[in-house]
Structure 1
Amino acid sequence: MTTAPGHVPRVAEPPGYHDQKADHLSRLRKIEGQVRGVTRMVDEDRYCVDVVTQIGAVTRALQEVALGLLDDHARHCVLDAARSDPEHAETKLSELSLAMRRLTRM
């Protein structure tokens, strides 16, 4: 089986965000509501600048969730791997780096 360039294989272990899962899900549900609100705004022909302002708020909220997930990954997955297996730590650092690159592409 071939993988895409830059793809890091996943191992079956609890995700680094496991302890924060409820918080992340709560924030994502709020964001989901915000997106539905933006959809309503467009449907109701609201002023375009107001719609764009709300889209910016949704974007920032998603970025905050992503940063929280990256922080969890660094504090749990990377740190645990660095303590137990330096080779595995390199893999986790590569995942972190790739995820940061993906997040910062706009």
Structure 2
Amino acid sequence: MELNEDVVTDVLKRLRRAQGQVGGVIQMIEDGRDCKDVVTQLAAVSRALDRAGFKIIASGLTECVRNADSDSPQFAADRAELERLFLSLA
């Protein structure tokens, strides 16, 4: 599956944000911050990573539907792979 440039840009932006959040969480732990604050930030990191993954999968679904020959074996294989990827994030 190839991603278009807009999707790649958006996904990279989301991943960089998550990377910064992870750094913040590490710093919070090192500083002995309250557990509730740390868990809140970990949840935010998790959501950011999920959104990046869902964006990639949504792009794949779009391509799959756009190029669909629903009777082809490749369509069924692509769909099964996208379903597996989606469920791995759910």
TM-score normalised per structure 2: 0.88
- Deviations along 1:15-37, one digit per CA (max 9) or x if unpaired, are 1x233111111111111000000
Of residues 47, 55, 75, the one that matches 1:68 is: 55
Q: How much is the aligned-residue C-alpha RMSD, in angstroms? A: 1.7
Displacement after TM superposition at 1:48 (Å) = 0.5
Deviation at 1:84, TM superposition (A): 8.5
Deviation track 1:16-74 (CA, whole Å, cap 9, x = no partner) reads x2331111111111110000000000000000000000001111111111111110010
* Percentage of matched positions with identical amino acids: 33
Mean Cα displacement is larger for which, 63-72 or 39-48? 63-72
**Alignment check: 8 A CA contact 2:17 2:48 kept:** no
Aligned residue pairs total 89
Contact 1:81-1:88 within 8 A present in 2 as well: no
2:46 matched to which residue of 1?
59
* Residue equivalent to 1:50: 37
Which structure shows the higher helix fraction?
2
- Large movers: runs of 4+ above 4 Å: none
Q: Which residue of 2 aligns with 1:90?
A: 76
How far the C-alpha of 1:88 sits from its partner, in A, is 1.1
Q: Normalising by structure 1, report the TM-score.
A: 0.76
Q: Which shows bigger deviation, 62-71 or 38-47?
A: 62-71
Report how far residue 87 of structure 1 moved.
1.6
